[in-house]
Amino acid sequence: MTTATASHDNHDDHGHHGPAKGIMRWVLTTNHKDIGTMYLWFSLTMLFIGGTMALIIRSELFQPGMQLIEPEFFNQMTTMHGLIMVFGAIMPAFVGLANWMVPLMIGAPDMALPRMNNWSFWILPFAFGMLLFTLFTEAGAPNFGWTFYAPLSTTYAPSSVTYFIFGVHMMGISSIMGAINIIVTILNLRAPGMTLMKMPLFVWTWFITAYLLVAVMPVLAGVVTMMLMDIHYGTAFFDAAGGGDPVLFQHVFWFFGHPEVYIMILPAFGIVSQIIPTFARKPLFGYASMVYATSSIAFLSFIVWAHHMFTVGLPLQTELFFMYATMLIAIPTGVKVFNWVSTMFRGSMTFETPMLFALAFVVLFTIGGFSGLMLSIAPADFQYHDTYFVVAHFHYVLVPGALFGIIAGVYYWLPKWTGHYINENLGKFHFWMSFIGVNVTFFPMHFIGLAGMPRRIPDYALQFADFNAIATVGAFIFGFSQLIFLFVLIKTIRGGEKATDQVWEGAEGLEWTIPSPAPYHTFAEPPHVK
């Protein structure tokens, strides 16, 4: 067993024996663990802000009629909720986990570009500060949905759209820098013997995700730049009056948007692929096929974007192509699910909190996958499109999918970070409340969507009332359950049962060879992987 020591430090820009003191430790840090921690706290903060917005939305939708807020503010809430959850909660949480775990998993002393790492984090608070600030301006926050279709987001947009555009630019730059850092780290800083096909799956999925980020975040930056030019510099990319085309916006946006949804799920696949073998005490089934399946999903994500646009009036042949391509995604996704189930089969399973979240991930993400398959069928999509069925679908893949994956990862690695086990009773309480809450919230949305309720409406016809009320109750259960999460986190940081180095009985990999808590500097001498 290779045990790295914390006594040696090969950085020359900060203290030689552990972290600096005071606030400047966090402002100037180039340590991957510090930066990972900051990313995770930042995304937790955003989760609570975005979650509060979700609860405002659900409160208004508790009953038919306008009760609490006005339609205009409702639209601002749906828009901000989407933007904050996608770009502020889910993506930074994954970057935070990558910062902490990728160097530990591949035996690297730090990220390859530590100073850039610091910048890519510190851009984020400013980007989201600017976005949130628009809520307090007279024009109000962006109100055109997180997909910001032109011309609603250009000719008809509130003046805060400019802040939104700069916010997107900043978070895009942050994501690209983070992704470059991860790729460079994985390509250059692997310990001797850590060949690509020996890398843990979390590293693999992030490796592929990082390439997706480098490929599509600039396209998002491009599309908002075009909006900026249309709004302020008299160009007409999306304005038909000057020879532009509003449908072009959707093509460019979804060329970014579809890979983006895989950016939000692939690292969760990786986390679950770490956790299930650990608690099944059995090696991951089909490691190589997992890598190939992830790569196939990433590749397919570039040629399916128009399935978000089945109702815009694409010609028949185009429609058929995108339908077939989208259906194909079910194959590699299925392979992954089958592999996870086979890993559990004839294992020796225990059900600690991270495993519970991982198992819920497999079941509920698969349900989201099924509704995704249904949505891929173009004729049926004419009925599903822009209804609550879609809302149910993407919340199933993003909440019990991506978010549960993140929570599972946090519980899985928390003993390594803090040196303490979590209180299992509290963790399980958090799990069951979240599990019940998430299903009570989102399952009824399938029904109201099929029954015909469009998404993004602040008020609805009477036949949708019962399920909306249930969904709202579920949302409050789920939302307040996350306070348990916060409580568990703080409690574990402050103390608890001392964690062993290996932490979990079935855990394997370099990150479990270092002490718990992980010292400030690790793998100054690269370990040797057999």
Partner 1 sequence: MNSNSPQPDEQSGHKPNNTALKLVIAAVAMFGFGFALVPLYDIFCEITGINGKTGGPVERVEQWVDTSRTITVQFITTNNAGMPWEFEALQEEVEMHPGAWTQVKFWALNPTENDMVGQAVPSVSPSEAAEHVQKTECFCFDQQTLKAGEGREMPLIFSLSPEIPSHVKKVTMSYTLFDAGAFAK
Partner 2 sequence: MLFRTWQRLSSVVLGLVSAPAAMADWELNMPQGITEVSQSIYELHMLIFWICVWIGVVVFGVMFYSIFKHRKSKGAVASKFHESLTLEILWTALPTVILIAMAVPATTVLIQMYDTTNSDVDIKITGYQWKWEYNYLGEDVGFFSNLTTPEDEIYNLAEKNENYLLEVDKHVVVPTGQKVRFLITSNDVIHAWWVPEIAVKKDAIPGYINESWAFIPEGEEGIYRGQCAELCGVNHGFMPIVLEAVTGDEYQVWLEEQRAGKIAEAQAALGDFSYDELMVKGADVYARSCAACHGGEGQGLGSVFPALAGSDIALNDMAAHIDIVLNGKPGTAMQAYATQLSDVDMAAVITFERNAWGNDTGETVTPKMITDAKK
**Cβ closer to partner 1: 318 or 348?**
318
* Size of site (CB under 8 A) for partner 2: 98
- Considering only CA atoms, which of 104, 123, 95 is closest in space to residue 182? 95
The answer to whether 50 and 84 are in contact (CB under 8 A) is yes
Report the residue count for the chain: 530
Binding mask 232-271 for partner 1 (x = CB under 8 A): --x-xx-xxxxx-x-xx--xx--xx---------------
How far out from the chain centre does Cα 171 lie? 14
Q: How far is the CB of 302 from partner 1 (least distance, A)?
A: 11
Interactions with partner 2, residue window 72-91 (CB under 8 A): 72, 75
According to the binding rule CB under 8 A, does residue 138 interact with partner 1? no
**Cβ closer to partner 1: 322 or 389?**
322
Sequence-distant (≥ 6) Cβ neighbours of residue 61 within 8 angstroms: 458, 460, 468, 471, 472
User: Using N-to-C axis directions, what is the helix angle for 266-280 and 404-418, rounded to 10°?
Assistant: 60
Binding mask 10-39 for partner 1 (x = CB under 8 A): xxxx----------------x---------
With the CA atoms of 492, 497, 501 and 505 taken in that order, what torsion angle do they form, in degrees rounded to the nearest 10? Answer: -110
Interactions with partner 2, residue window 19-48 (CB under 8 A): none
**Cβ closer to partner 1: 94 or 523?**
523
Query: Of the residues 110, 230, 239, 381, which is catalytic?
Result: 110
Binding mask 223-242 for partner 2 (x = CB under 8 A): -----------------x--
Q: Is 411 a catalytic residue?
A: no
According to the binding rule CB under 8 A, does residue 68 interact with partner 2? no
Interactions with partner 2, residue window 88-147 (CB under 8 A): 138-140, 143-145
Binding mask 501-530 for partner 1 (x = CB under 8 A): -------------------------x----
Single-letter code of the amino acid located at 517? P
Stretch that binds partner 1, among 222-230, 348-356, 479-487, 500-508 (CB under 8 A): 222-230
Q: Is 258 a catalytic residue?
A: yes
Distance CA 180, CA 250 (A): 27
Q: How far is the CB of 148 from partner 2 (least distance, A)?
A: 10
Query: Of the residues 14, 58, 307, 430, which is catalytic?
Result: 307
Q: How far is the CB of 383 from partner 1 (least distance, A)?
A: 22
Sequence-distant (≥ 6) Cβ neighbours of residue 367 within 8 angstroms: 396
According to the binding rule CB under 8 A, does residue 454 interact with partner 2? yes
Q: Is 307 a catalytic residue?
A: yes
* Size of site (CB under 8 A) for partner 1: 58
Q: What is the largest CA-CA distance in the chain?
A: 69
Which tokens belong to 251? 């093509």
Q: Is 14 a catalytic residue?
A: no
According to the binding rule CB under 8 A, does residue 311 interact with partner 2? yes
- Considering only CA atoms, which of 436, 428, 272, 426 is closest in space to residue 353? 428
According to the binding rule CB under 8 A, does residue 303 interact with partner 1? no
Which tokens belong to 235? 């160009």
Q: Is 308 a catalytic residue?
A: yes
- Please state the three-class secondary structure of 126-185 as a single string: HHHHHHHHHHHCCCCCCCCCCCCCCCCCCCCCCCCHHHHHHHHHHHHHHHHHHHHHHHHH
**Cβ closer to partner 2: 193 or 283?**
283
According to the binding rule CB under 8 A, does residue 14 interact with partner 2? no
Q: Is 64 helix (H, G, I), strand (E, B) or coil?
A: coil
The radius of gyration of the chain from alpha carbons, rounded to an integer in Å, stands at 23
Q: Is 430 a catalytic residue?
A: no
Q: How far is the CB of 264 from partner 2 (least distance, A)?
A: 21
The answer to whether 123 and 171 are in contact (CB under 8 A) is yes
Q: Is 209 helix (H, G, I), strand (E, B) or coil?
A: helix
Binding mask 95-114 for partner 1 (x = CB under 8 A): -------------xxx-xxx
- Considering only CA atoms, which of 333, 203, 342 is closest in space to residue 274? 203
Interaction partner, residue 280 (partner 2, partner 1, none; CB < 5-8 Å by kind): partner 2
Distance CA 413, CA 492 (A): 12
- Considering only CA atoms, which of 157, 276, 259, 246 is closest in space to residue 217? 259
Distance CA 242, CA 168 (A): 25
For residue 87, the 8-state DSSP code is I
Determine which residue in the list 7, 188, 425, 463 makes contact with partner 1, applying CB under 8 A.
188
Query: Of the residues 14, 33, 58, 81, which is catalytic?
Result: 81
Q: Cα dihedral sign for 81, 83, 86, 88?
A: negative
According to the binding rule CB under 8 A, does residue 272 interact with partner 2? no
Binding mask 145-184 for partner 2 (x = CB under 8 A): x---x-xx--xx-x--------------------------
Q: Cα dihedral sign for 98, 104, 107, 112?
A: positive
Interaction partner, residue 327 (partner 2, partner 1, none; CB < 5-8 Å by kind): partner 2
Bridge partners for 498 per DSSP: 420
Q: Is 13 a catalytic residue?
A: no
Q: How far is the CB of 248 from partner 2 (least distance, A)?
A: 11
Binding mask 315-354 for partner 2 (x = CB under 8 A): -x--xx--xx--xx-xx--xx-xx--xxxxxxxxxxx---
Catalytic positions, please?
Answer: 81, 110, 146, 174-175, 258, 260, 262, 273, 307-308, 333, 336, 455
Q: Where along the sequence are the contacts to partner 1 (CB under 8 A)?
A: 10-13, 30, 108-110, 112-116, 176, 179-181, 183-185, 187-192, 214-223, 225-226, 234, 236-237, 239-243, 245, 247-248, 251-252, 255-256, 313-315, 318, 526
